[in-house]
Amino acid sequence: MLYWTTRILALAMAALLAPLFIDIAVALVGNLRRPRRWPAAAACPVCLAVVVPAHNEEPCVARTVHSLIAAGCLPSALAAPPGVLVPRVFVVAHNCTDATAQLAAEAGAIVGEIHDLSLQGKGAALRFGFQQAAACGANAFLVVDADSVATPNLIAAVTDALAAGVEALQCRYELELPASTPAFSRDRLRALAFRGINVLRARGRAGMGLSAGIFGNGFALTAAALDRVPFAADSICEDMEYHGKLVAAGISVQWIEDAGVWTEVSPSGAVQAQQEARWEGGRLRVAVLSTPSLLAAAWRGNLRALGALFEFWSLPTARAVLGLLLAALLPVFWLRAFIAVYVLLLVLYVVQAARLGQDPGRDLAALCLAPLHILWKVAMIPMVLLHTRRHTPWARTGREVPRP
């Protein structure tokens, strides 16, 4: 009886850990390939609109609009030259109770306001923004969060890719750390983990011909893609939910390597714990709801749907490490061999994620805090499970007022 119980537990642990194992293996192999660059020659005209959903983003929204204008968008007060398609910034002030709309308009954005508590969630704000921009002639849409800073080449890189025929794309999206952030800092560890998920794994999936993924910030869609797959995504993880719909419909999200958006890391503590629990609980809920359609797409021969399934069901890395420690207690030879290979992949994964950053040495030094981070993740499990059982509303992430 003990023999079979041990074997069943070993199989269960392997099944739980396998999606992240596969996703990381794919990412590491895909990162060996050079990211694709899109030709500047336009195959089709692109009238791009940058849609900025904002809910009480008074401290940040003006800086975001200014960075987008510096990247190539035209301020609302200026007229475009005849026959020239110049991107505009459309800020959607969603049920705001502060000066978000006023500050966005003063910074040079076209502002649309929602004052309807029945229209909840980022998905509702995006649909409003897409409609507003389309009414002004846009045929492609770039989504940028209201607490972000765009790289100077963002608009040109996105326009080139869309003009080359890309239907959906994700740009590089990273956390911005102050230069004074010490090596032994949880913020630096969080930025490293964020880069692993939002850069290394997305880049690797694209390198293997899979869909890179959508991360809610710095992604773009054509009007044709939205017509084919309407943005009917209203969960707290609307980006992941919509990505599943795109892949199931046969649309692959491409990767933009050399342009992107940065957002400041949120303060550590109770606010951050609540936010991460909301997202992780929401991810699990979306994974459950998306699995039937992705399995059906895979059955029809859409192998990218399998890549999305592995992404959706991957454990957070910290919890995977805990799972490996528990699995190592089982006296099963093949499981321990699997754990050894898994640990090697994790080491390569972390090193590569650090190499993709600006300060690899300090990022790797932050790993000394990993045991505390794992314990913190364990303590969050009840809160995460709570958010899998209910609809979680969109809320602003608490941050310090950004530096000018």
Choice among 56-60, 201-205, 299-303, 375-379 with the minimum mean pLDDT:
375-379
d(C-alpha 286, C-alpha 265), whole Å:
25
Region 19-43: mean pLDDT is 84
Predicted confidence (pLDDT) per residue in 369-383, tens digit: 777 777 776 666 666
Q: pLDDT tens across 106-133, in order?
A: 999 999 998 877 777 888 999 999 999 9
Report the distance separating Cα 350 and Cα 388, nearest Å: 28
Whole-number Å distance between alpha carbons of 20 and 23: 5
pLDDT band at 176 (very low <50, low <70, confident <90, very high): confident
Q: Do the bridges between strand 168-176 and strand 219-222 make them parallel or antiparallel, or are there none, so unpaired?
A: antiparallel
Report the SS3 class of residue 187: helix
All residues at 6 or more sequence positions from 122 whose CB lies less than 8 Å from its CB, including other chains: 53, 55, 94, 216, 238, 394
Note the pLDDT of residue 398: 54
Alpha-carbon distances of 124 from 113, 224, 233, rounded to whole Å: 12, 19, 8
The packing angle between helices 370-388 and 186-195, to 10°, is 60
Q: Where are the domains of the chain?
A: 48-191+210-268
**For 169-173, what is the mean pLDDT?**
96
Compare 3 and 226 and report the one with higher pLDDT.
Answer: 226
In sequence order, which residues have a C-beta less than 8 Å from that of residue 279 and are 6 or more positions away? Answer: 236, 237
CATH fold of 48-191+210-268 reads: Spore Coat Polysaccharide Biosynthesis Protein SpsA; Chain A (3.90.550)
Q: What is the pLDDT of residue 402?
A: 46
